[in-house]
Structure 1
Amino acid sequence: MPHEVEDETTVNSSYSVTVPAAVRREAGVEAGDKLRWRVDEDGTLSVEVIKQQYGAFSKLEPVDTGEPTDAAEDHDLIAGDY
């Protein structure tokens, strides 16, 4: 059962903060995740964890376009610019 975790941290001179370890553990924050900051009309600050997605394309099946491709050569081509 999730429980409430509260901690505090200090904003440094470059306006960076460290997420306290107990908060990281409880929220499941890992390196590479993003934090989305929001301030409501009443001034309430909230933070949402945006999980880093690994292997987002790993389940895609290759498609035969009928033409040979070379990613190393073709990666900078703009559609229609051949």
Structure 2
Amino acid sequence: MSERVEDETTVNDSYSVTVPAAVRRAAGIDAGDTLRWRVDEDGNLSIEVVDRRYGAFSELEPVDIGEETDAAEDHDLIPGGSR
């Protein structure tokens, strides 16, 4: 990242924060990514993207099992799915 990006956000009542759009774009942060929060001995906060959720299986080839599947119907943990 060659350009410095800086923005502010407010901690809400449930202690959640929204990552500002300019920061998300500059850092390549997407929904589902994991962030690591660190506070050093001087109280300085740093945040690092440690896990990018999407694209993890992008190199896998689909397997044809010879029948149609529907994950929402077939998976037992999805609300509304059949058991």
Q: What TM-score range do you get, normalising by the shorter chain?
A: 0.5 to 0.7
**Normalized against structure 1, the TM-score is what?**
0.64
User: Which sits farther off after the overlay, 3-12 or 43-52?
Assistant: 43-52
Provide Cα deviations, 1:1-25, integer angstroms capped at 9, x if missing partner.
Answer: 6210000000000000000000000
* Identity of matched residues, %: 66
Question: Structure 1: 5+ residue runs without aligned partners?
Answer: 60-82
User: Counterpart in 2 of 1:16?
Assistant: 16
Number of residues of Structure 1 aligned to a counterpart in Structure 2 = 59
The runs of 4+ residues in structure 1 deviating greater than 6 Å are: none
**Normalized against structure 2, the TM-score is what?**
0.63
User: Counterpart in 2 of 1:25?
Assistant: 25
Computing the radius of gyration over CA atoms, which structure comes out larger, 1 or 2?
1
Question: Structure 2: 5+ residue runs without aligned partners?
Answer: 62-83
SS for the counterpart of 1:26 is: helix
1:41-80 equivalences under 5 Å are: 41-50=41-50, 51-52=52-53, 54-55=56-57, 58=60
Distance, in Å, in 2 between the alignment partners of 1:27 and 1:49 is 8
